[in-house]
Amino acid sequence: MGKLDGRVVLVTGAARGQGEQEARLFRAAGARVVVADVLDGRGKALAEEIGASYVHLDVGTEDGWREAVAAVKRTYGRIDGLVNNAGILRFNALVDTPLDEFMQVVRVNQVGCFLGMKAVAPEMADGGTIVNTASYTALTGMAAVGAYAATKHAVLGLTRVAALELAARRIRVNAICPGAVDTAMANPARLDPDADPEETSRALDELYRGLVPLGRIGRPEEVARLALFLTSDDSSYITGQPFVIDGGWLAGISVV
């Protein structure tokens, strides 16, 4: 028996990175998985490989969500789980951030999460689950990522409100707050076909050795296991909460 047997789960931003690992793990746990992304080539290839289906979805568009939810209902007749994972990051000091850039980050990270819950929750089976991807920067500041941190704080607010509003239907809504994770977002060398992923990961582990108590960067497979916990009955009495997965980064500082 898989932990997600019989459940239909849509994962946004699932063509690569954490979303890809979530799609793989959920499929292995018995779910019927819908891979949603704007990277159609990668998303379709992944869906074919793991026996999932693919929908093109730009999470910042209400029409896109309407069409994606209709496609899931047509294919599977139901939807039991949503992982709002799609996200983008831009680096800039607050005073140097152009409004367009700020709004671009808001559109994907914050509006995307809002629209996802708005479109999916009314169609979701009672007892369903929503996992929103926030960040370590939803709970603390980090210089040079003002737009990103603002949207991730907002994702936590949306998570708590949705948990309260959807509890009567036993729909649970939680957020995951990763620290640094070895995907293209934190390790752009992963997008360079000439780079050796093992080597870049080793370099990042070295970088994080002095920053993070557990002494290395996180792996997307580790985040996927947390998303599985929050999507399965293993977390049946948990809703409205942020779950930090950061190798101890937020625990405090060490002066010795």
Question: Does the footprint of ligand NAD cover residue 13 (CB under 6 A)?
Answer: yes
User: Number of residues in contact with ligand NAD, rule: CB under 6 A?
Assistant: 29
In whole angstroms, what is the distance from residue 208 CA to residue 206 CA?
6
Contact yes or no for 117/133 (Cβ under 8 A): no
Question: Does the footprint of ligand NAD cover residue 146 (CB under 6 A)?
Answer: no
- Is 148 marked active-site? yes
Question: Does the footprint of ligand NAD cover residue 85 (CB under 6 A)?
Answer: yes
Q: Would you say 16 or 216 has its CB closer to ligand NAD? A: 16
**Distances, alpha carbon 24 to alpha carbons 69, 174, 212, in Å:** 21, 20, 27
In whole angstroms, what is the distance from residue 200 CA to residue 212 CA?
17
In whole angstroms, what is the distance from residue 43 CA to residue 24 CA?
12
Q: Would you say 4 or 208 has its CB closer to ligand NAD? A: 208
Residues 101-120 that bind ligand NAD (CB under 6 A): 108
In whole angstroms, what is the distance from residue 40 CA to residue 229 CA?
28
CB of 125 to ligand NAD, least distance (A): 24
Q: Which residues pair with 83 in a beta bridge?
A: 11, 131
Among 54, 148, 208, 237, which one carries the catalytic annotation?
148
Site for ligand NAD, rule CB under 6 A:
12-13, 15-19, 37-39, 57-60, 85-88, 108, 133, 135-136, 178, 180-181, 183-186
